[in-house]
Amino acid sequence: MLKPIICQIALPIPLRRLFDYQLPLHLAPNSLISLVGRRVRVSFGSKREMIGLIYSTTNNTAHDLTKIKPIIELLDTQPLLSSNLWDLLHWASLYYQHPFGDVLQQALPSALRKGKEATFKMQEYWHLLSSDLNISEVKRAKKQYQALLLLKQNPLSTTHLKAQGITRNTLNILQEKGFIECIAKQPEYNLNWSKNLQESEDKPQLSTEQAVAITAVNQQNKEFNCFLLEGITGSGKTEVYLNILTPILKMGKQVLIIVPEIGLTPQIIQRFQARFNLPIYLKHSGLNSRQQLDTWCHAKQGSAAIIIGTRSAIFSDIKNLGLIILDEEHDASFKQQDGFRYHARDFAIKRAHMENIPIILGSATPALETLHNALQGKYQHLHLTQRAGLAKPPTSSLINLAGLPLQSGLSPQLIELMRRHLQKNNQVILFLNRRGFSPVLMCHECGWLVKCTRCDAFYTYHKKANYLHCHHCASTLPIPQQCYDCGSTQLITNGVGTEQLEQTLKSIFPDDPVIRIDRDNTRKKESFDEYLNDIHQGKYKILIGTQMLAKGHHFPNVTLVALIDVDGALFCNDFRASERLAQLFTQVAGRAGRAEKKGQVVLQTHHPEHILLQELVNSGYTQFSRNALRERKLAQLPPYQFQALLRAESENATLAENFLTLCRQILIKICLEHNITEKMLLLGPIPAPMERKAGRYRFQLLLQSTYRTLITQTLQRAIDIFSKSPEGRKVKWSIDVDPIDFT
């Protein structure tokens, strides 16, 4: 007698286990194509249905079949993902200690997660039911007649017919009369794009450094190699990418390009589109789920020559992948900070290795991890030290704020400098990474500060919106009329945010239009695109921006860039703070003088003598980063050590701390058993830098070792014990492998 097949299903839930279901005989496929990797619909719990993927199967079972629920539906006729990608995701699940079902979930476009068919959007095609119809019957109905004449030559899509002025209604009538019929067909897609590949003639003469970098890659572009392209801002990295692409595309291989944020830098896509007459598809959160699925299908079928996307695009299933480019590789947005805490750069390198293809990491300010690998010779290090074309690097200097009268944080020197640049009809960028009008509201009489009741943080005052807003938990509060402590009505602001800066600048420079680019002001994507366009047109002279403005923009008329206040980062106890500040400074500075006009960068500070600032202003990121690596080595920190961070949070502080104390004991025991106590450092549990957030107390326990595999193995041994402990069930906890953010 045939036995039902038992399938172990990976379900999209954060539990580290698989679930058994039986495949009813009537669903069992005849073909021998493996069941593994196909999607199924199953019931979970009493009411819910879920889509999962078959992880493995068996029909040799001692299970009591009456206790195993049946699979409701088998959704695919073949495995959904290529075996390469499947293996990679499996590796990621083990490395990042995240349940495989949830990893799969994150790797799939949402339409597939919901059980949609893994195909393109079907298009309606119309065709004549018979070739010897007497179409003159409808001659008096002009549109119907026109439609039949068109369809007599070829079947045509609804979209095509609409463009000819033929409505759906007309088509329906003809269908009722028995003249035509509608069939659903896949849209046409082009698998032979590489045969007609053409490059636009409009490209610059390469610099020697660019040519050297391109040759280095092109000579080794058929197998795994990791290249770090370290090129100063404006040195023409994108031009290098474009040239590296050409031979790969000519071989008919697809290219995957990962960027930090597409919405912020539409320019990069335009440059690829302008260069090649090829099908380019995008993958980012601004697309609807149908568009994302179409991109996925094009990548998988091979009809997408180039796929450009943000972080999660690294999970695209690509038929014939020939190259991965990861631009701005230092960007923190490549690391997912919740759930499946992967790093898109590290996953990309692993992927390139597994698929045996080259990968290029590009940045003006490489992450110290990446730089370390390049300096050690693990990656090939390519350099662009000169700005492209006629552009020259900007000059940098500090303004000592000590004792100066400030207007909303602006020193008289800076105002004077702005005036000089604006008089020459140039644009100015002011960088301030703080939204809102003011970071705190304070009682002028007793010094009381309005603090969020749910976080260890102050409310930010938003003047225009007229409320207080906590940037950590998103709670809001109406503006208090009186001090809660002494009852005084004299509440004043303390500190400057972008909203205030905007207001002040409008009064200092009434004739120079000011634009503020921050999240409050650009919620709608259209408004952001519009602003960018207006900036390019020269409609605005003064640009105020947060981090959003630091990324990759190319504004040829910007000649002055000023950092208003970054002193907070100088005394931050996160060991990555200086690296981040150096990257930010260099990237922001990189917006100045990108064309023929020379650029100038100034940084206001109360600590002009600070060694980090001196280093940045006098010798730049290259020098800073090499020194910073030496310091990391001395301090025994990443990239010389590997880390994993266990976090726990709860409304009850003791519960969170107790759980981590237990984890520590478990880890110590495992280390003893495997004789690695000396090679593993455990720090904590300690409260997180922001101990209370959104009403929960947060604690951390850090694992550190010189050996990456020891961390992986130890966690793998421990994680089941963590999961099963009653203490673990009472708190929210997570593991962050290679953490980059300790807040």
Neighbours of 453 (CB within 10 A): 12
Q: Is 141 exposed, middle or buried (0-12, 13-18, 19+ CB in 10 A)?
A: middle
- Would you count residue 448 as binding Zn ion (CB under 5 A)? yes
Per-residue binder mask for Zn ion (CB under 5 A), 661-700, x = binder: ----------------------------------------
Contact partner, 177, from Zn ion, ligand ADP, none, Cβ < 5-8 Å per class: none
What is the SS3 string spanning 161-197?
A: HHHCCCCHHHHHHHHHCCCEEEEEECCCCCCCHHHHC
- Would you count residue 454 as binding Zn ion (CB under 5 A)? yes
Closest CA to 243 of 210, 274, 270, 198: 210
Q: Which of 93, 144, 170, 207 binds ligand ADP (CB under 6 A)?
A: 207
Q: Which residues contact 97 (CB under 8 A, 6 or more apart)?
A: 644, 715, 716, 719, 735, 737
Q: Which of 235, 243, 370, 605 binds ligand ADP (CB under 6 A)?
A: 235
Query: Distance between CA 524 and CA 553 in Å, rounded?
Result: 19
Query: Distance between CA 712 and CA 692 in Å, rounded?
Result: 29
Contact partner, 237, from Zn ion, ligand ADP, none, Cβ < 5-8 Å per class: ligand ADP
Give me the DSSP letters along 680-708.
Answer: -EEEEEEEEEEEEETTEEEEEEEEEES-H
Contact partner, 234, from Zn ion, ligand ADP, none, Cβ < 5-8 Å per class: ligand ADP
Q: Closest separation between CB of residue 501 and Zn ion, Å?
A: 24
Give me the DSSP letters along 247-312.
Answer: HHHHTT-EEEEE-S-TTT-HHHHHHHHHHB-S-EEEESTTS-HHHHHHHHHHHHHT--SEEEESGG
Between 241 and 347, CB nearer to ligand ADP? 241
Tokens standing for residue 153: 């030559």
Contact partner, 452, from ligand ADP, Zn ion, none, Cβ < 5-8 Å per class: Zn ion
Select the span of 49-57, 152-160, 233-241, 714-722 touching ligand ADP (CB under 6 A).
Answer: 233-241
Contact partner, 239, from Zn ion, ligand ADP, none, Cβ < 5-8 Å per class: ligand ADP
- Would you count residue 260 as binding ligand ADP (CB under 6 A)? no
Contact partner, 446, from Zn ion, ligand ADP, none, Cβ < 5-8 Å per class: Zn ion
What is the SS3 string spanning 354-417?
A: HHCCEEEEEECCCCHHHHHHHHCCCCEEEEECCCCCCCCCCEEEEEECCCCCCECCECHHHHHH
Closest CA to 224 of 335, 318, 308, 348: 348
Query: Distance between CA 495 and CA 438 in Å, rounded?
Result: 5
CA angle, residues 701, 706, 710, in degrees to nearest 5: 70
Q: Closest separation between CB of residue 695 and Zn ion, Å?
A: 8
- Would you count residue 234 as binding ligand ADP (CB under 6 A)? yes
Q: Of residues 210-229, which lie at the interface with ligand ADP (CB under 6 A)?
A: 210
Between 210 and 433, CB nearer to ligand ADP? 210
Query: Distance between CA 233 and CA 388 in Å, rounded?
Result: 9
CA-derived radius of gyration, the chain: 30
Q: Closest separation between CB of residue 387 and ligand ADP, Å?
A: 7
Backbone angles phi, psi at 330, to 5 degrees: -80, -10
Between 209 and 738, CB nearer to ligand ADP? 209
Per-residue binder mask for ligand ADP (CB under 6 A), 552-571, x = binder: --x-----------------
- Would you count residue 483 as binding Zn ion (CB under 5 A)? yes
Backbone angles phi, psi at 587, to 5 degrees: -70, -45
Q: Which residue number is nearest to ligand ADP in terms of Cβ?
A: 236
Contact partner, 684, from ligand ADP, Zn ion, none, Cβ < 5-8 Å per class: none
Tokens standing for residue 607: 């600590």
Q: Which residues contact 491 (CB under 8 A, 6 or more apart)?
A: 441, 442, 443, 444, 450, 479, 480, 482, 483
Between 488 and 618, CB nearer to Zn ion? 488
Q: Which of 14, 29, 178, 204 binds ligand ADP (CB under 6 A)?
A: 204
- Would you count residue 488 as binding Zn ion (CB under 5 A)? yes
For the chain, give me the number of helices (H) and strands (E)? 20, 30
Cα of 23 vs its chain's centroid, Å: 38
Q: Which of 472, 551, 580, 632 binds Zn ion (CB under 5 A)?
A: 472
Q: How many residues bind Zn ion (CB under 5 A)?
A: 14
Tokens standing for residue 532: 């960018």
Backbone angles phi, psi at 80, to 5 degrees: -70, -40
Q: Closest separation between CB of residue 447 and Zn ion, Å?
A: 7
Q: Closest separation between CB of residue 555 and ligand ADP, Å?
A: 11
**Is residue 644 within a helix (H) or strand (E), and if so which, with residue range?**
strand 642-650
Q: Which of 52, 79, 99, 231 binds ligand ADP (CB under 6 A)?
A: 231
Contact partner, 438, from Zn ion, ligand ADP, none, Cβ < 5-8 Å per class: none
Q: Closest separation between CB of residue 235 and ligand ADP, Å?
A: 4
Tokens standing for residue 191: 């698998």
Contact partner, 587, from ligand ADP, Zn ion, none, Cβ < 5-8 Å per class: none
Select the span of 172-180, 199-207, 367-375, 617-625 touching ligand ADP (CB under 6 A).
Answer: 199-207
Contact partner, 236, from Zn ion, ligand ADP, none, Cβ < 5-8 Å per class: ligand ADP
Contact partner, 454, from ligand ADP, Zn ion, none, Cβ < 5-8 Å per class: Zn ion
**CA dihedral over 374, 376, 377, 383, signed as positive or negative:** positive
Q: Closest separation between CB of residue 623 and ligand ADP, Å?
A: 19
Q: How many residues bind ligand ADP (CB under 6 A)?
A: 16
AA identity, residue 557: N
Select the span of 155-163, 204-212, 597-605, 608-616 touching ligand ADP (CB under 6 A).
Answer: 204-212
Query: Distance between CA 429 and CA 547 in Å, rounded?
Result: 12
Select the span of 42-50, 167-175, 235-243, 614-622 touching ligand ADP (CB under 6 A).
Answer: 235-243
Q: Which of 88, 151, 452, 715 binds Zn ion (CB under 5 A)?
A: 452
212-227 burial code (b ≥16 CB/10 A, e <16):
ebbebbeeebeeebbb
Between 486 and 683, CB nearer to Zn ion? 486
Q: Which of 97, 238, 336, 426 binds ligand ADP (CB under 6 A)?
A: 238
Between 466 and 488, CB nearer to Zn ion? 488
The CA-to-CA distance between both ends of the chain, in Å, stands at 60
Select the span of 74-82, 201-209, 438-446, 448-456 touching ligand ADP (CB under 6 A).
Answer: 201-209
Q: Of residues 119-178, which lie at the interface with ligand ADP (CB under 6 A)?
A: none
Between 237 and 696, CB nearer to Zn ion? 696
Instruction: Kindly state the DSSP code that residue 458 receives in the 8-state scheme.
Output: B
- Would you count residue 455 as binding Zn ion (CB under 5 A)? yes
Query: Distance between CA 18 and CA 8 in Å, rounded?
Result: 6
Q: Closest separation between CB of residue 625 and ligand ADP, Å?
A: 17
Q: Closest separation between CB of residue 233 and ligand ADP, Å?
A: 5
**CA dihedral over 261, 264, 265, 269, signed as positive or negative:** positive
Q: Closest separation between CB of residue 354 and ligand ADP, Å?
A: 28
Tokens standing for residue 250: 């000519």
- Would you count residue 468 as binding Zn ion (CB under 5 A)? no
- Would you count residue 388 as binding ligand ADP (CB under 6 A)? yes
> What is the binding site for Zn ion (CB under 5 A)?
443, 445-446, 448, 452, 454-455, 470, 472-473, 483, 485-486, 488
> What is the binding site for ligand ADP (CB under 6 A)?
204-207, 210, 231, 233-239, 388-389, 554
